[in-house]
Every structure is written in structure tokens, then in C-alpha cells.
Amino acid sequence: MTLKTDITEMFGIKHPIASAAMGPFRTTELAIAVTEAGGLGMISHAHQSMDGREVDAIVALKKNLDYVVEHTDGIFGFNIRTSRLTVDCDKLIEETSKHIMGNPKLREQCLYALTSAGSAKRLPLHKDFQKLREKTQIKHFHVAPALWLADKCVAAGCDGLVVTGFEGGGHQSYEKVGGLVLLQQVQQKHPDIPKIACGGFATGAGMAAALALGAGGIAMGSRFIASHDSEFHENYKNVVPPSKAQDTLVSTGSLGTIRLWRNKYALSKGLVRSKEEKMAEEKALVDHRTAISKEDLAEELRKDAYAAFAAYQGDMENGAVLIGQSIGIINQIDSVSDIIETIIKDAEKALKNANNFVQ
């Protein structure tokens, strides 16, 4: 049995399950495992190349695209965070689009361009991405954490949305809308646009709920971190199964609004403040009007980036452990193929059981 949805049809994939974007970390092995298991693998907006060294994001993305396409014949995608704070964002779009265009195998297989954390228009307005869109079957999705942001994605001509609720791990939004309400809102207003539900998904029952609410698939971050195939450190993975859903908090800092595992690092950061305050702070940073000197800002960015990489490499005390509330429903570390098979089987069971209510 398989689940056939608008997402499996759009991408020609077996299962409507994607791996979520998890920059700034390298997620190429995970992307390959998800794609090979019949899902939609994701190359994150990373600052890490294949050997784990910290590098320029443009260099990293191109190398990671090459690595993934060499190791699978399936379909996968990439993420670009289009935030105002992303350094060289247009250059990244230009070079990535040209790089895919220049490789026939990438043109066939890299069909999922996911933007997030910024404008939904930035990618489709770029002439190099427009050329790529004309010549290939690539589809552009953008992350929508609130209804008004979903409206903007639709207006920008996105092919689909990743509807991400506040339960989700890592990069979050000030909008603070839970996935259950958000999916219903977006489905009511935009019933026809393809949707991937994201944030808090880790089981077949959750997937069945997402499909019932109008999504054509789910994306998962935390569930795939806790897999044998992900590149995250064993200590990071071992945080997941014993943790409870309430063991995370949403904090601020130069990493943005992020959901973190509650540890020494997370508690040392400011808790999430108002949207207006955060927007003003970001604008001031972009305009170089901050009270904080450029040097101090660079130092803060360096420290937070260091904390993120420290966790990825196993420091669970001082590291920034990006993770979602779904840790409360993840009971063991499994292989990606087992995770996907189990979720599909359980989702089918849940959908059939629910169908028994219909008389």
C-alpha cells in the first residue's frame, strides 16, 4: 500500500514525507537516506562542506548538491533562507541556479527549491532561478508560519507551501501559531495550493491528521535527527528519546527565533520577545544602526554560530540544541527507511480506522 497525494504526484516520489531544512548544518547523508527511502531529501542552507569544515554557504551548497546527486538517483531539494540577514543571498540564488542548470543529473533530480525565514519573492524574482524554472520541473515552496505569510507565498506564485506550526524545532517565527490551527486556516483560504505540513510530526497518526486537514505530505526535522543516518552527533540524537515535549523553549539571539532543547545555553539566551521588537532589532542590524558595535555584533554571531556547531559535534551543555516538541513522541533511534515505512504503515492504519466512523 502507498499513499498517493498531490505531493507524491508533483515530485514523482513514492512517499509523501520530506526531511525538513536543518541549516546551518550539513544534512547531505540524511538527504540521501530520505530520498533513497522514497521520500524527499533536503540539502540544508549550511556553512559546512563535505569534510565538516566551516565554509562559505555558496561553496557548501554547490558541493553538497554534487555529493547528493552522485549518491542517489532519486528526487531531492535544497533550502535557502532569504532573511534580510542572510549574507550574499542573491549571489547564493544565482550560483545555485546556474550550478543546477549546468548539470543534467541535477536538472532531473533537484526538483524542490525551498525558501524560508524571509521573502517568498526573492527566489522567483531572480532571473537565474526563472531560467531554471523554465527549463526544468523544479518547484518552489516557501515556509509559511502564519496565514498572512501563506497569503504572501500564494501572491508570490509559489508552487506550494511548507505550513510550519510553532511546535517545530529550530528556526521558528514570532507568529506563534500552532500547526493544528494554522493548517486549517491555510486550507480554508487556499484549498488548492499543495501543502507540506511541518512542525511536531513524527508518527503515522500525526501524518494521517495532516492529510485529513488538507496537506499532501509532512516534513520532519527532529524525527530524522534521531535516526542512524543523520550526521548529528550521537549525544544530540540521545537527547531525543528520553526528552519530554515540554523540554524545549523558544529563544532569541543572533541565530533568530529558535526552538531549543532547554539546557545551559538555551537558558542563558533571552526568551522570545514581541514580534515588533524583533523586527526593529533586525532592521537596525541591517541598517548598521545598532547600539552594539560591529565588532561586538560579529563576536555575538560568532559565539552563537559556535554554540550551534558545538551541539552538532556533541556538546549538550554549552551547545545550541535545535529541536522540536516532537521529541515527546519519539521513542527510539531508528534507520530512516524504518522510520518512513512505519509512519506510512501507521498512517494508512489511522486513515482506515477513521474511515470506519463514516456511515
Ligand X SMILES: Cc1cc2nc3c(=O)[nH]c(=O)nc-3n(C[C@H](O)[C@H](O)[C@H](O)COP(=O)(O)O)c2cc1C
The site for ligand X (CB under 6 A) is made up of 20-23, 44-45, 79, 81, 116-117, 143, 164, 168-171, 198-201, 220-223, 322-324, 326
Angle at alpha carbon of residue 352, lines to 350 and 354, rounded to 5°:
70
CB of 218 to ligand X, least distance (A): 8
CB of 221 to ligand X, least distance (A): 2
Residue with cell string 540521545: 238
Cβ-based nearer residue to ligand X, 200 or 204: 200
Residue with cell string 523553549: 249
CB of 24 to ligand X, least distance (A): 6
CB of 257 to ligand X, least distance (A): 11
CB of 198 to ligand X, least distance (A): 5
CB of 358 to ligand X, least distance (A): 30
Which amino acid appears at position 37 of this protein?
A
Nearest residue to 78 (alpha-carbon basis) of 20, 122, 125: 20
Cβ-based nearer residue to ligand X, 8 or 222: 222
For every residue of 22-78, DSSP letters joined together read -TTS--HHHHHHHHHTTSBEEE---SB-TTS-B--HHHHHHHHHHHHHHH-SS-EEE
CB of 340 to ligand X, least distance (A): 14
Cβ-based nearer residue to ligand X, 147 or 225: 225
Cβ-based nearer residue to ligand X, 117 or 154: 117
CB of 210 to ligand X, least distance (A): 12
Q: Grid coordinates standing for 76? A: 531531492
Cβ-based nearer residue to ligand X, 20 or 347: 20
Dist CA 17 CA 279 (whole Å): 33
The alpha carbon of 299 is separated from its chain's Cα centroid by a whole number of angstroms, namely 26
For every residue of 273-338, DSSP letters joined together read --HHHHHHHHHHHHTT--SS-HHHHHHHHHHHHHHHHHHHTT-TTTS--B--GGGGG--S-B-HHH
Cβ-based nearer residue to ligand X, 109 or 173: 173
Dist CA 209 CA 289 (whole Å): 46
Cβ-based nearer residue to ligand X, 321 or 350: 321
Cβ-based nearer residue to ligand X, 50 or 329: 329
CB of 346 to ligand X, least distance (A): 16
Q: Are strands 195-198 and 160-164 parallel, antiparallel or unpaired?
A: parallel
Dist CA 302 CA 355 (whole Å): 52
Q: Are strands 258-261 and 195-198 parallel, antiparallel or unpaired?
A: unpaired
Which amino acid appears at position 48 of this protein?
Q
Cβ-based nearer residue to ligand X, 67 or 236: 236
Q: E strands, 159-238, where?
A: 160-164, 170-171, 195-198, 217-220
Contacts with 148 (C-beta within 8 Å, 6 or more apart), sequence order: none
A 10 A CB-CB count for 140 gives: 21
